[in-house]
Amino acid sequence: MKLKDIADALGLSDTQIRKWKNQDKWDYQLKGNVTIPKSNVTKRRPGAPKGNKNAVGNSGGAAPKGNSNAVTHGFFRRIFPDDEETHAIIGEIGVKSPLDILWENIVIQYTAIARAQKIMFVRNQQDETRVLKKQKRQLDSEKVGKGENQRVETFETYVEEEWEIQHAWDKHAIFLQAQSRAMATLQGLIKRYEEMLVTALATEEQRLRIEKLKLEIGKLQSGDDDQQSEVIVRRWSQ
């Protein structure tokens, strides 16, 4: 450690530290590990040196508002935005059980699948979609009028467009592939949820809602949303 660092730590001048070093033979003591009976090193009380203002505005010794000392490894602050909305989300995650977090992921995935039924619906074989991919246009200008009334008019002389045509069979095939992947992901989440129901201390609500969702998925896969179905509820004993 440098003498300047020692001086800063003790709240003293560099000159005083150098004086002590010479008087007490610090170099000799460090090399030979000899105890010097008389030393000028003053015993200091615990705490910051007199006149130190590090604690100004920190009433009661508590960390200032917004202090991130307690944030584990600063993980969330390094990755997520430092705003109230993000803090609220992180706070909600902290009080939720893994089972509830998994359930919310199941609901999000199922909602996306259900919305896709409407967005990607193909009416018939003539259901064709045209998407403009690229467009080029050339502008030209000419003078119009005479004298003070003369002006320059700009007009379009050349246009090139590139369209992507999505036929009904293409759109339907893409939809089936996307739905298959999404359903596989959803089924994996449901399987994991049911496994956690057995090992975790689950509530009756957590157990019953998965049964209802599985019924809805069955209706979605069969395409029969209007047909009434009998709900069979299994109950687990604690």
| pLDDT tens digits, 64-122 | 555 554 454 466 677 777 788 887 877 777 778 888 889 999 999 999 999 998 888 88
Q: Tell me: the pLDDT tens digits for 6-26? A: 766 666 666 766 776 766 666
Give the residue carrying structure tokens 């599985």.
Answer: 214
SS3 of residue 228 by DSSP: coil
CA pair distance 238, 204, nearest whole angstrom: 10
Find the farthest-apart pair of alpha carbons in the chain and give their distance in angstroms, rounded. 110
pLDDT value of residue 138:
81
Q: Cβ distance 113 to 186 under 8 Å?
A: yes
Q: Which of 14, 10, 90 lies closest to 50 in space, CA to CA?
A: 10
CA pair distance 199, 65, nearest whole angstrom: 40
SS3 of residue 134 by DSSP: strand
- Report pTM: 0.46
Does pLDDT of 43 surpass 90? no
- Angle at which helix 98-119 crosses helix 168-199, to 10 degrees, equals 160
